[in-house]
Amino acid sequence: MAVAVEMNFRGATLSQYNKVLELMGLTPLGAGPPGSVSHWAAATADGLRVVDVWHSKEQYEAFAHDQIGPLSQQAGFTGPPDVTFYEVHNYFTQGG
C-alpha cells in the first residue's frame, strides 16, 4: 500500500537540502529514486518540510536508512526529521 511521508527537519536550510539532492544524484524536477511516487520540499518557519509518496513504507524506510540519514548528516543537518506516515487513499501521476 502506498504511504505518504511527511518529514520536518528543524533548523535545516534549502541550501542543505540542495546538497543532499546533489549527493543522492537527484535532479530537481527530475525522476525520483526507485519506489518513490512523488516528492516536494519547502522552507518552513523553523526549517524544512519534505513530503513524499512511496509505493510502500518498507521502500521508504530502506531509502531513509541508506540515503536520507547519512547524506543529510553529511550536508550539515543537525538531526533526524520528525516523521509522520499516512496511508494513501489515492494519488495522481503526471498528466499528459
Question: pLDDT tens digits, residue range 35-69?
Answer: 999 999 999 999 999 999 999 999 999 999 999 99
Mean pLDDT of the chain: 96
Is 94 among the domain residues?
no
Q: What is the pLDDT of residue 8?
A: 98
Position 31 in a domain: yes
Q: Is residue 96 part of a domain?
A: no
- Evaluate whether residue 95 is within a structural domain: no
Is the residue at 52 inside a domain?
yes
Residue with cell string 543529510? 72
In a domain, 39, yes or no: yes
Confidence at 93, pLDDT banded by 50, 70, 90: confident
CATH number at residue 63: 3.30.70.100
Predicted pLDDT at 95: 82
- Residues 9 and 30: their CA atoms lie apart, in Å, by 22
Q: Is 34 exposed, middle or buried (0-12, 13-18, 19+ CB in 10 A)?
A: exposed
Predicted pLDDT of residue 94? 82
How many domains in the chain? 1
Question: pLDDT value at position 31?
Answer: 93
**Considering the domain boundaries, does residue 65 fall inside one?**
yes
Look up the domain containing 62 and give its range. Answer: 3-87
**Per-residue pLDDT at 15 exceeds 80:** yes
